Each structure stands twice: as C-alpha cells, then as structure tokens.
Structure 1
Amino acid sequence: MTEVVAAVIEREGRVLICQRPAHKARGLLWEFAGGKVEPGETKAQALARECREELGITVEPGEVFLEVTHAYPDLTVHLTVLRAGLAEGEPQLLEHADLRWVTAAELPGFAFCPADGAIVQKLRQG
C-alpha cells in the first residue's frame, strides 16, 4: 500500500484543485495538491515538500480532514487529507497541467481521480 497525502487549501471561500499532467497515471484528471510520503517523512512533512516541489508554495499543514483507502488497477493508496494554510507564495504550474480555485458547488463539474471523490463529497456537505 502506498501512503499518499493531499491538501485542502482554502482561500476566500474557494479550494485549490490541480489537474494531473497528461503523461502521468490518471492524466488530466483533477486532484488536490499532494503526493507520496517518502520513507522517514511525517505526513505533514510530505505535504509541505510536495506543495513546495509541485506548486512553489509554502503551506502549514493542519488537522486531518479525512482518510480513505482506494484500489486503482496499478496500485492501492491510503490517502490522508490534511487541511493546510497557504503560508507563502502563489501556486504555480511547475508540475500540473492546470490549477483552479473553485467553490464547493463547482467541484462536481471537474473529473477527479477516484480516490479524491470522498474529499469532494465531504467539501460539498460543508
């Protein structure tokens, strides 16, 4: 099982979503910022590193928003979603094909990675 972290980063009533690069697994599907937890890292450290590497931002990881396990055809992920504050920088397209700040009501209009469906559902419930 692969340990993965993702961030719910909110600003002015909107949440940050990112579109995966076309050449990667689940290419062009939308996701929440994050990635794999490397050996020796805490989940908070992994989230901070991934946001720095992929978006050029500094985040302050907060409490756990939710956890979900999802089996894809090529791997099974245990996804820990943390709320995170945007501490420094403006998100940049260093890795993703696109990024958007959207309201919870707009989330169903985007095709998300299946593991992220639970995040979308919880955000929509408020």
Structure 2
Amino acid sequence: MKKSVHVVGAIIENEKNEIFCALRSPNMILANYWEFPGGKIEAGETPQQALKREIQEEFSCEIEVGKKVEDTTYEYEKVIVRLETYMAKIVQGVPSISEHADAKWVIRQSLSQLDFAPADLPAVEKLVQK
C-alpha cells in the first residue's frame, strides 16, 4: 500500500499581484518541479500553523495565512499526497532560499508557464483564471 502524506502549500502574493514560487532542488523528491512552498503537517498542528512554521524554516520569513484555495489529492508513483493550499502574505522578512534550487515572484498569468508538480496544478489553474 502507498504511503499517504498530508501537506500544505502557501500561495504568497505580494502587492504587485505576483506569487512566490519555489523550485525543488535536484536532491528533493519531485526534483526540479516548481511548487507553492510549504511542507508536511506535523502531529497536533493546524494547516495554518504548519505553513507558518515551514515558511519560517525554509525561507526565513513570517507569513499571515488567508483563505483556502484548493484541496487536492494526487497519486504519485510512490506516494499519495493530499495538498491544501492557502493564500498568504509576508508580514515580516524577505524570503531567502535554503533548501530549494531557485525561487521567484511570478505574475498570475505566467504561472502556467512553469513546470509545477502535479498536485499543485489545480491551484495554479484557479489562480490563472482569477
């Protein structure tokens, strides 16, 4: 039986309506895909708490989590991923990458040009249509 993981992703938007996207590094699972940054929900955490902690750990900045955008379950080759994505904005600091290969701010209309991980795609489609 495949392992299931429950993860959260932050759709961090700035005042120019650009969204922060992170590129998974070659040594990560799902290498070289773009994603909305986030990670696994630990025991006892709400999705919002998990997002705040992950963004603090991986990008050294603080976010405020807004409304839920999408809740997607995607079956990869080795794992089943449930991804909940939330709108967010940075309230303190500037994101810097530690684990990812790259990161950039992208206008909504251009999101579909990036090669996103499959579980992120339903959220990408929603954002591009807005």
- What's the TM-score once normalised by structure 2's chain length? 0.94
Q: Which runs of 4+ in 1 moved over 6 A?
A: none
Could you tell me which runs of 5 or more consecutive residues in structure 1 were left unpaired when the two chains were aligned: none
* TM alignment of 1:47-66, pairs within 5 A: 47-66=51-70
Per-residue deviation, residues 14-63 of structure 1 (Å, max 9, x unmatched): 00000001111111110001011011111111000100011111001111
* TM alignment of 1:61-76, pairs within 5 A: 61-76=65-80
Provide the residue aligned with 2:113 in structure 1.
109
Provide the residue aligned with 1:100 in structure 2.
104
Matched letter for residue 86 of structure 2: L
Give the fraction of aligned pairs with identical amino acids, expressed as a percent.
Answer: 37
Matched letter for residue 119 of structure 1: A
Provide the residue aligned with 2:28 in structure 1.
24
Provide the residue aligned with 1:7 in structure 2.
10
Structure 2 distance, partners of 1:96, 1:28, is 9
Structure 1 distance, partners of 2:70, 2:113, is 22
Q: How many pairs were matched up?
A: 126
Structure 1 distance, partners of 2:61, 2:75, is 29
Q: Could you say what secondary structure the match of 1:44 adopts?
A: helix
Q: Could you say what secondary structure the match of 2:100 adopts?
A: coil
Matched letter for residue 38 of structure 2: G
Matched letter for residue 51 of structure 1: I
Query: What's the RMSD between the two structures over aligned residues?
Result: 0.8
- What's the TM-score once normalised by structure 1's chain length? 0.96
Could you tell me which runs of 5 or more consecutive residues in structure 2 were left unpaired when the two chains were aligned: none
